[in-house]
Amino acid sequence: MKIKIAECAGFCFGVKRAINIAENALKGLKAKDNIYSLGPIIHNPQVVEGLFKKGLQVISDLEKIKDGTVIISSHGAPLEALKDIKEKGIKLIDATCPFVKYAQNIVKGLKKDGYRIIIVGDSAHPEIKALKSIAGKDKKSKKIGVISQTTQNKENYINEIKNILGEDFSEVKVFNTICNDTSKRQLATRSLLKDCDLMIVIGGKNSANTRRLWQICKESGVDSFHIETELEMKTKWFKGKDCIGITSGASTPDSMVKKIIERIRRF
């Protein structure tokens, strides 16, 4: 039985950066200090749990926070939350991924120029919530600006663009805001599907980019499983399989990928 690992496995740049920012903030933490992240700093429960043990508390809103430090997650935060932090005089540390910031700046420009902004992505995702807060209320302009969630499936984005082009408009501006890491992971995963008869997709169940990798695998017809840790795997998955493909989301640490490979070898 062969094991093939996707070229783009382990943390992406934005996730590494966010974790380093959090780790550095926690190093200077005193016993009486409180440090929070507004939502999980990345979408990986095991990594978030590790940071919690070091003192990083995850909060869903700012209602009960009166002092301390708040870290903005890699996904960004709505303008209302940033305003609330400023008004309360709470220390702010921004760990927003630079690629997410790039998308936010595009939205700011489109809004300033009077475009109706269409954002393709998961409406419940924190990145989209932040982008929507910047875009503001939907304009009725015939000038349309289109951007994507940074972890969107490229094929899905193209299909949505085709649908948008069927609308009544005077001008359309389309921006490719899917980050390079996302595109590379999806291409690397598709490459594995050509040779493998079983795919293991590693990453948080709450991770949008990991779920899209799993979706790509499932749609191919190859037996595929989305797991967070090595303990979720079952021996029966591997019976009769010749080649196992392993791919991971952008917020999956190398250490977890190694644990899963070791367990597969024991199987």
DSSP string, 23-87: HHHHHT--TT--EEEES-SSS-HHHHHHHHHTTEEEES-STT--SSEEEEPTT---HHHHHHHHH
Cα 226 to its chain centre, rounded Å, is 16
* The pLDDT of residue 179: 93
CATH of domain 13-96: 3.40.50.11270
CATH topology for 99-178 is Cobalt-precorrin-4 Transmethylase; domain 1 (3.40.1010)
* The pLDDT of residue 8: 83
Residue type at 11 in one-letter notation: F
On whether the 2-10+181-266 domain is CATH 3.40.50.1700, my answer is no
* The pLDDT of residue 31: 64
Pair 196, 245: CB distance under 8 Å: yes
Q: What is the pLDDT along the chain (267 residues), one digit of tens a residue?
A: 899 999 888 899 999 999 999 999 999 777 678 999 999 999 999 999 999 999 999 999 999 888 899 999 999 999 999 999 999 999 999 999 999 999 999 999 999 999 999 999 999 999 999 999 999 988 789 999 999 999 998 899 999 999 999 989 999 999 999 999 999 999 999 999 999 999 999 999 999 999 999 999 999 999 999 999 999 999 999 999 999 999 999 999 999 999 999 999 988
Alpha-carbon span 41 to 96, nearest angstrom? 9
| Active centre residues (catalytic) | 127
* The pLDDT of residue 196: 96
Pair 125, 75: CB distance under 8 Å: yes
Alpha-carbon span 86 to 236, nearest angstrom? 54
Residue type at 82 in one-letter notation: L
Alpha-carbon span 233 to 238, nearest angstrom? 9
Are 2-10+181-266 and 99-178 in the same CATH fold?
Answer: yes
2: left (phi over 0), alpha (psi -120 to 50) or beta: beta
pTM: 0.89
Q: Domain residues of the chain, as ranges?
A: 2-10+181-266, 13-96, 99-178
